[in-house]
Amino acid sequence: MNDLGIAVRRLLGERRISLHELSRRSHWDTGYLSKVINGRKSGSYALVRDLDNVLDADGELLRLWTGLQGFSVMGAISATADSDLAGTVVSAPPDLSGVAEILARWDDVYEPAGPAILAADQIGLYEIEHLEKTARLFRAWDHEHGGGLGRKAVIGQLSEIGGILGRPHPAPLRRRLLSIASQLALVIAHMSADVGDDATACRYLGLALDAAKEARDATLGARAANAIARRFLDDGDHAAALNLLRNARQSLQGLPSEMTAMLYTAEAWTCATIGDYEQMAPCLDQAAGLAGEPGALFGAAELAGISGACFEALAARASAPRRAAHAARAERDITVALGLREPFYVRSRVLDLAGLANVRLIQGDPYEAIRTAGDAVESAASIRSGRAARRMHALAIRALEQFPQVSQVTEFADMVRSRLPVA
């Protein structure tokens, strides 16, 4: 327990307020409050401000929090990146239960005072623009080459950003630096998940969301929330994923329309995985009217790809004749996505092709499925992506189960086993 936790416990005793009553009055989750008080979570400015008000602490808690943090996100950036580079990151799954509270209080940001004029030991716009370009290049590299390759380079860049943020900067420059940190954390999270390190992926996703909040960057907040919702979905917690995505749409004010479209498609995908067409279809309709132009961060290619995946998931669960209709829609949308993808989206192309091959299996055409799947293997072999490899192995198993008598299916399965290793 740190000084903040000790002070909160003392004030609870003096005010004769229980933890549950503190939760009720402050509108923060009891479990999350307990972790902050016991020093297992650092808390946020918004939380500590609310506790200070409820406990009538006259700024004491805020002063303690500021002293403990220096600045919380800055310290977390350096600590996470540096320990990862040193190989000392704890592998235990991190707690993401506070995500909803972060989104609900998105506009409550503690911004430390910075100099009005740039000093000689600070970086200026030219350097920041270069760092922003580097972050975009790392994102493209991840899409093109897969998870493990270059991960340490991205962590090293994030560590450097953490060091830069350790010095005070004028507020506009500091926010841009925090946005860069959020982008890099997202890339590292995707790279980590790609090689099966889910605990580290979650850790960086939480960091990405915190940095986006402090940067007041709603677009990055939406991207982080979307990725965290995917983690909830992977864990089988559909309710948490849906709740998070809906909270993000409501809380992230000023969100560009294409990012709202992304959140709608994520909600659609969540509904599709449980076979809920009635809730899925309106989400896709909403996204269709909001997606960006081709080449946008979330544009027509991304919309078509996720829509195709949604209908593929429905087709796999449905009975005839809905199965045929869903499969036909999935085939159409995935084909559109393949035609629109930028060349560097290699991993997305593999997943599109794997989805299309699965649709062919659902349609009862193993020969066309294997032809499509062969193209997917060629692309998957060119990148280091555990996610893509696992998807191809699952496709091979499904094909063997459905069409064991087809020699091309057996040959395809042998090719997957020999060319795409999995951890």
- DSSP E strand boundaries for 222-281: none
For residues 145 and 218, membership in a common domain is answered with yes
CB 172 within 8 A of CB 116: no
- Find residue 384's DSSP bridge partners: 146
Structural domain includes residue 275: no
Complete DSSP assignment for 21-44: HHHHHHT--HHHHHHHHTTSS---
Amino acid at 296: A
CATH number of the CATH domain containing 50: 1.10.260.40
Q: What is the identity of the amino acid at 201?
A: A
CA 209 from chain center: how many Å?
A: 9
Assess if residue 23 is contained within a domain.
Answer: yes
Say yes or no: 122 and 202 in one domain: yes
Nearest to 131 by CA among 166, 110, 156: 156
Phi/psi region, residue 420 (left: phi>0; alpha: psi -120 to 50; beta: rest), is beta
User: What phi and psi, each to the nearest 5 degrees, are found at residue 143?
Assistant: -65, -35
Could you tell me where the DSSP H helices lie in 274-385?
277-288, 300-317, 322-340, 346-362, 366-380
Question: Based on the domain organization, do 180 and 41 belong to the same domain?
Answer: no
pTM of the entire structure? 0.81
Specify the number of domains making up the chain: 2
Task: Give which of 49, 76, 47 is closest to 60, Cα–Cα.
Answer: 49
d(CA 7, CA 23): 16
Please list the residues that pair with 212 across neighbouring strands.
none
- pLDDT, one tens digit per residue, over 303-318 is 999 999 999 999 999 9
pLDDT in tens, 102-160: 787 787 766 666 666 666 666 788 899 999 999 999 999 999 887 767 889 999 999 99
pLDDT value at position 70? 44
- Whether residue 29 is found in the same domain as residue 141: no
Instruction: Give the burial string for 182-208 (b: 16+ CB within 10 Å, else e).
Output: bbbbbbbbbbbbbbebbebbbbbbbbb
DSSP assignment letter at 295: T
Nearest partner of 405 among 367, 377, 373, judged by Cα:
367
For the chain (423 residues), the mean pLDDT of every run of 10, in chain order, is 84 92 89 85 73 88 64 73 78 66 75 64 84 94 82 92 82 91 96 87 91 92 95 90 93 91 97 95 95 82 96 93 95 96 91 96 96 92 89 95 95 94 77
Query: In this structure, are 86 and 166 located in the same domain?
Result: yes
Residue 113, SS3?
coil
The Cα-based distances of 230 to 136, 223, 245 in angstroms read 22, 11, 10
What is the pLDDT, as a whole number, of residue 48?
82
At residue 360, the pLDDT reads 97
62 and 142 together in one domain: no
The number of residues making up the chain comes to 423
Q: Which two tokens stand for residue 196?
A: 């099966």
In this structure, are 47 and 78 located in the same domain? no
Question: Does residue 382 sit within a domain?
Answer: no
User: Angle 386-158-185 (CA atoms, 0-180°, nearest 5)?
Assistant: 50
Task: Verify that 44 and 79 share a domain, yes or no.
Answer: no
- Would 265 be classed as within a structural domain? no
Q: Which of 69, 97, 120 is the last residue of a domain?
A: 69
User: What is the extent of the structural domain holding 157?
Assistant: 73-255
Q: Residue 261 falls within a domain, yes or no?
A: no
Residue 346 counted as domain residue: no
Q: Specify whether 99 is located in the same domain as 243.
A: yes
Helices 277-288 and 257-273 cross at an angle (nearest 10°) of 160
